[in-house]
Amino acid sequence: MSRRGLETGLSAGLLVAALGGIAWATGEPFVFPSLGPTAFVLAFRRRGGRSRSSRIVGGHAVGAVVGFAAYALVAPGVTLDPSLSAASTDTLRLVTSGAVSVAATSWGMVELDAVHPPACATTLIVSLGLLSTPQSVATIVASVVVLVGVHRATGALFAEMYGDSPTDAGTRG
């Protein structure tokens, strides 16, 4: 077992656990699937600076807002569910909402220099009706801001306690 693997796993797990505590305390969806890859990216590349943090927050914000717009325009009231019928109008509306949201999110992230691939999962979560209310969109963005903040705070704490970690060498990005 490598030190880097252990540190990455523990760090990613702690990042998600911090949000899990907020979700537990508030009953709001502060944990959702696209945060897993984001936590991994932050944990694996422990240094990165403000530009990477702003890309992460910006990418998820673009994904959440675009996903909401696509859902509101194309598939309001429909939710991805196993009971959806094959070749139904509702299924077509959701598929269209998802495709439009991924295309528009991809374009928006590139144009805004906020490229963060896990945000395409965020846009699907929203555009497929899973977290598709204005409050959910706000919670998604707040969750990502908290995740990045916890990462920065713990990174500063570890740097102060242990100095630069050898696992950080060559991982700026």
Residue 82 in domain: yes
CA distance readout (Å), 148 to 91, 93, 114, 133: 35, 34, 14, 23
Q: Residues, the chain, total?
A: 173
Number of domain units in the chain = 1
pLDDT of residue 1: 78
Q: Which domain holds residue 31?
A: 3-152
Residue 65 in domain: yes
Structure confidence by residue, pLDDT tens digits, 12-56: 999 999 999 999 999 999 999 999 999 999 999 876 666 689 999
Residue 98 in domain: yes
Predicted TM-score (pTM) of this structure: 0.88
Residue 171 in domain: no
Residue 88 in domain: yes
